[in-house]
Amino acid sequence: MGRNLIIPGGTRIIDARGKYVMPGGIDPHTHFECELMGAKSVDDFYQGTKAAVAGGTTMIIDFVIPRKDESLLEAYERYRESADQKVCCDYSLHVAVTSWSPKVKEEMATLVKEHGIGSFKMFMAYRDMFMLRDPELIETFKACKELGAIAMVHAENGDIIAENTKRLLDAGVTGPEGHEMSRPEEVEAEAVNRACVIASQVNCPLYIVHVMSRSAAEAVDAARRRGACVFGETLAAAIGTDGTNYTHKCWKHAAAHVLSPPLRPDPDTSSVLLNMLANLLKSYKPTTSDTKISGWFRELGMTSIKTYLELNRISLSDLSSRETSRSLCKSTNLIHETPKPPKPGLFFIALRDSVNCPLYVTALSSKSAADVVSSKRSEGVVLFGETLASTVGIDGSEQYGKDIEKGRRYVTSPPLRPDSTTPTYLIEHLAQDGLQVTGSDNCTFNAEQKALGKDDFSKIPNGVNGVEDRMSVVWEKGVHAGIMEPTRFVAVTSTNAAKIFNLYPRKGVIAVGSDADIVVWDPNRKRTISAQTHVQAVDFNIFEGMEVHGVPEYVIVEGRVCVDECELKAVHGFGKFVETPSQNIDYVYCLIEDREKRPRGVARTEAEAKKHAEEDAAIA
């Protein structure tokens, strides 16, 4: 890059008109040739990085996970030896700390000081394998802080998972559906919150890997808003597919989606809102302060909801089932005979808690809006939420289809949500900086390896694909869906990881002096994801059949064209190990220093004591 460059003869010119030119993707979370739960992941450092390049990712960060009784340094050397000769693009390493002792602490220091390691991952799950308990987490976080490194956690409550697993197996639930049932959202969110609290107390920067649920994302967001130095990563898998796959009738299909934390079989907007409305009506009890402030309003508010339901001939019990509600809407022609599109209006959540004014929020139509209302209510704000029959009865998926005439009839504001499940929720958080980074957690096992858990879901090796499709999935669900700006796409797929792991500005940006890791992205070209055509070694693709807009037409790895007009030309061993130095002052430790609390006692002088005694005497 530069001005007035002298271009040598024979230089190839790539015409990028009409395309986006952006820094190559950085996938901060892969597990190539990873030994886990009795199996070794099938994408090795060659196949895995080759697939990464095919998808527009020009750098990956993998995890060194020590074997039982292997030291951190030995494990690190083992990974370097294997990866150095195979990688098709640059790579760095995080190191997992799976036990605690003075020796581990020393080795962490050596890794930071002599081997360019800047981040350590601790597991709050995988009990009896990798899990650390709180006192050990505190020690590891303190060690990271001392070394200027970043602590990373796999946040799930391992004790609860063990308990639930036993209960489920005893009850005869052995299939992959038991995986999610044994570790539901709150088991993840609890651990995220606990990790944030511990990190905040020892003032150590924290990076939460694979945030997989709404409540976990909320916990990250809340910690950030409290001022903690916390970063949240979500996965291509969490954005591109969901946990309904665990109930798939084909065992192989269901098991292929097993990873931890699991995908969430999220209820859709309609049922969330239905439940909320049902609970709201059921739990409604006037309180004294309520009455004092707003007797009139309460009556009006509740009458209004009741009237609404009465007018629409919906009873409370009808609301508890989404199916009933759907058919009810149909049978009463609530939806189909609406002569005009449902009335727009009504939807601003002005939570006037500070002026203590009761508030009735009309026409709630999204999960996040509903979340705000219920969380504010639980904080004691006098607040009522209303939703609409149209919102609870149908969603926008068919209504906004090919038939414009028909589609118009459903136009309303806020709009019907075509799909407001967890994936959308996470994308929204990524777009709005509730989460900062997207990884893949690529850890792929073939059908016969997954079959290790044929009779016991807790033995299914955990992990899915994503290193190849991460960029396309985030583009499709974020930018193509209109939720995310292209610039934010670059931030969450590349720049933020570079900044957090101290690779910036060498990586994560196109600038003078940066590595020439560049992607020419064609937003108009489409492709359909399939295991039949993917580069990865694994025999299954969790995004099978997904049509994505946005294809890397050229991928330039350190100045070398490795995807050329969509043709892959990756080179075995072309990449290098890149250090991720500690003491990342510019992007991480500046946040820590800002909030460093130096405990101070109260300074008391003799003179002040004397003055005080005189004052006392004067009063007497």
Taking CB under 6 A as the rule, does residue 188 contact ligand URP?
A: no
Q: Using CA atoms, how far apart are residues 219 and 215, in angstroms rounded to an integer? A: 6
Q: How far is the CB of 129 from ligand URP (least distance, A)?
A: 10
Nearer to ligand URP, 30 or 391 (CB): 30
CA dist., res. 537 & res. 46, Å (int):
10
Helix (H) or strand (E) holding 82: helix 72-84
Nearer to Zn ion (CB atom), residue 118 or residue 158 = 158
Instruction: Pick between residue 152 and residue 254 the one whose CB is nearest to Zn ion.
Output: 152
Distance of alpha carbon 366 from alpha carbon 421, whole angstroms: 10
Q: Is residue 443 near ligand URP by the rule CB under 6 A?
A: yes
Give how far Cα 404 sits from Cα of 91, 344, 393, Å: 48, 19, 21
Nearer of residues 88 and 125 to ligand URP, judged by Cβ: 125
DSSP state of 458: G
In whole angstroms, the minimum distance from the beta carbon of 235 to ligand URP comes to 8
Judged by beta carbon distances under 5 to 8 A according to partner kind, the member of Zn ion, ligand URP, none in contact with residue 259 is ligand URP
Q: Specify the DSSP class assigned to residue 354.
A: G
Class of residue 356 by CB neighbours under 10 A (exposed 0-12, middle 13-18, buried 19+): exposed
Q: Which residue is nearest to Zn ion (CB)?
A: 154
Binding ligand URP (rule: CB under 6 A), the pick from 160, 223, 259, 382 is 259
Q: Which of 19, 94, 145, 154 binds ligand URP (CB under 6 A)?
A: 154
Q: Pick from 282, 273, 302, 306: which is nearest to 290 by CA?
A: 302
- Kindly state the smallest distance separating residue 177's Cβ from ligand URP, in Å: 16
Spell out, one character per residue from 463 to 492, where the chain touches ligand URP: x when CB under 6 A holds, - when not.
x-----------------------------
When the beta carbons of 154 and 214 are compared against ligand URP, the nearer one is: 154
- By three-state DSSP, how is residue 413 classified? coil
Name the residue number minimizing CB distance to ligand URP. Answer: 462
Residue 363 partner contact from ligand URP, Zn ion, none using kind-dependent CB cut-offs of 5 to 8 Å: none
**Shortest distance (Å) from residue 260 CB to ligand URP:** 4
In the DSSP assignment, the letter for residue 353 is G
Q: CB–CB of 151/96 below 8 Å?
A: no
Q: Please, are residues 529 and 472 in contact by the beta-carbon 8 Å criterion? A: yes
Q: What one-letter code names the amino acid at 30?
A: T
Q: How many angstroms separate the CA atoms of 231 and 221, rounded?
A: 9
CA distance 468 to 444: 12
For 473, other C-beta atoms within 10 Å of its C-beta total 29
**260 binding ligand URP? (CB under 6 A):** yes
Beta carbon of residue 126, minimum distance to ligand URP (angstroms, whole number)? 7
Helices (H) then strands (E): counts for the chain? 25, 17
Give the nearer residue to ligand URP in terms of CB position, either 456 or 558. Answer: 456
Which listed option, ligand URP, Zn ion, none, makes contact with residue 257 (CB within 5 to 8 Å by class)?
none
Supply the DSSP string of 230-288, one letter for each residue: EEEEEEHHHHH--GGGGG-SSHHHHHHT--SSPP-----HHHHHHHHHHHHHHH----H
Instruction: Say whether 415 sits in a helix, a strand or coil.
Output: coil
- H or E element: which one contains 23? strand 20-23
Minimum separation from the CB atom of position 45 to ligand URP (A): 16
**Chosen from Zn ion, ligand URP, none, partner binding at 124 (C-beta under 5 to 8 Å by type):** none
What's the min distance (Å) between Cβ of 542 and ligand URP?
Answer: 12
Nearer to ligand URP, 188 or 441 (CB): 441
Decide whether 22 or 208 has the Cβ nearer to ligand URP. 208
Q: Which is nearer to Zn ion, 65 or 314 (CB)?
A: 65
Which class for 577: exposed (0-12), middle (13-18), buried (19 or more C-beta within 10 A)?
middle
Q: Which does 463 bind (CB under 5 to 8 A by kind): Zn ion, ligand URP, none?
A: ligand URP
As a whole number of angstroms, the distance between CA 448 and CA 135 comes to 38
Residue list 2-41, contact with ligand URP (CB under 6 A): 31, 36
CA dihedral (605, 606, 607, 609) positive or negative: positive
Asked whether position 213 contacts ligand URP by CB under 6 A, the answer is no
Which stretches does DSSP call E strand in 440-538? 518-528
Binding of residue 462 to ligand URP (CB under 6 A): yes
Residue 154 or 367 having the CB closest to ligand URP: 154
> Across the strands, what pairs with 529?
none
Residues that bind Zn ion (CB under 5 A): 154, 441
Pick 94 or 429: Cβ nearer ligand URP: 94
Q: Check binding of 441 to ligand URP (CB under 6 A).
A: yes
Shortest distance, position 580 Cβ to ligand URP, whole Å = 18
Shortest separation between residue 158's beta carbon and ligand URP, angstroms: 11
Total residues contacting ligand URP by CB under 6 A comes to: 10
Report the Cα 475 to chain-centroid distance in Å: 15
Is residue 182 near ligand URP by the rule CB under 6 A? no
Counting contacts by CB under 6 A, is residue 438 touching ligand URP?
no
Q: Kindly write down the DSSP assignment for every residue of 356-374, as one continuous string.
A: T--EEEEEE-SHHHHHHHH
Chain residues binding ligand URP by CB under 6 A are: 31, 36, 154, 210, 259-260, 441, 443, 462-463
